[in-house]
Amino acid sequence: MADNKEKNPYEGAILVSQDPYAGAVLVSADPYKDAIPAEPTEEESRSIASETWRTFGGAARDLSQGIIDLAQYVGPDGPGIVWGDDPTTAEVESGIRFTADTKGAKARLPEVAEPDTTGLSFVRDLTQFAVPFAKAKYFTPATVGGKVLEATTRGAVIEQAAFSPYEQRISNLVQTYPSLQNPVTEYLQADPSDTEATARFKMALEGAAISLPLDTVIENVAKARARRKTAEGQKQIDEQNQIEIDEQLAKQQEETQKVSSVWDDVKDIMTQDTILDKNKKTKSHKAKAK
């Protein structure tokens, strides 16, 4: 007959009669609560300053360069500015000079390198366009169609001044990300083989395309700021009203206390007069009784 008894799997195991966590110190508070945050190193501080300059200083430089390029494109035979060496002359020049005729030479401001941090190049280009785009809004049409026309026209014009024709701009940045690549930005991106007229036509299309969503964002931000200012102003008014109410209540309380004090004095005098009258009446009755 086969043996059907199953073997105990715990046979021979050592019994644990004591809590293995007995005596452990429980941590109920954040051990890093009072920790002092480390100050950025000198190298990190320089990196932050450098990235800030490359982003916003670079945007200001590129915007200035775009305005100069537009001025020279509109009037290529008029007075111009030349920075550094003029490639149309045999001499090697330096510095900034005003010329009667640029003869095709473009004024070039000192370059500012692109930021190394991911995403800051986009911030630089967006700032370069968004700041003059927001400042150039002088009226708000009443109709939706009028708003669309105003925004797209403003965007197309501002793009001409905000960027240089062959400068890497927003479309180029979009194309650097494979997941965002599309035929539209592929066509609109700066191409050194384009003529300046073609490049500026592409710039106008790009400016018109990004103007509508950007104008909506700017308008919503402006409304939010206006609501916040209104709320802050109302809060100040409410606080001032509460102060005036508190002052009025304190004044009324003080006057009430004064009246109460006078009334107490009057009651004391009336009580004393009553006592005197009773005394007089008592004396009078005693005198008559005698």
Q: What is the pLDDT of residues 83-115, one digit of tens each?
A: 666 666 777 777 665 554 444 556 788 889 999
pLDDT at 72 over 80: no
Compute the average pLDDT of residues 148-173. Answer: 90
**Model's pTM, two decimal places?**
0.55
Q: What pLDDT is recorded for position 140?
A: 82
| DSSP symbols for the chain | ----PPPPTTTTPPP--S-TTTTPPP--S-TTTTPPPPPPPHHHHHHHHHHHIIIIIHHHHHHHHHHHHHHHHH-TTS-EEEES--TTSSS---SEEEES--TTPPP-PPP-PPPSSTTHHHHHHHHHHHHHHHHT-----SSHHHHHHHHHHHHHHHHHHHS-TTS--HHHHHHTSGGG--HHHHHHS--TTS-HHHHHHHHHHHHHHHHHHHHHHHHHHHHHHHHHHHHHHHHHHHHHHHHHHHHHHHHHHHHHHHHHHHHHHHHHHHHHHHHHHHHHHHHHHHHHH-
Hey, where are the domains in the chain? Answer: 50-236
Q: What is the pLDDT of residues 217-257, one digit of tens each?
A: 888 887 888 888 888 888 888 888 888 888 888 888 888 87
Model confidence at 29, pLDDT cuts 50, 70, 90, reads low
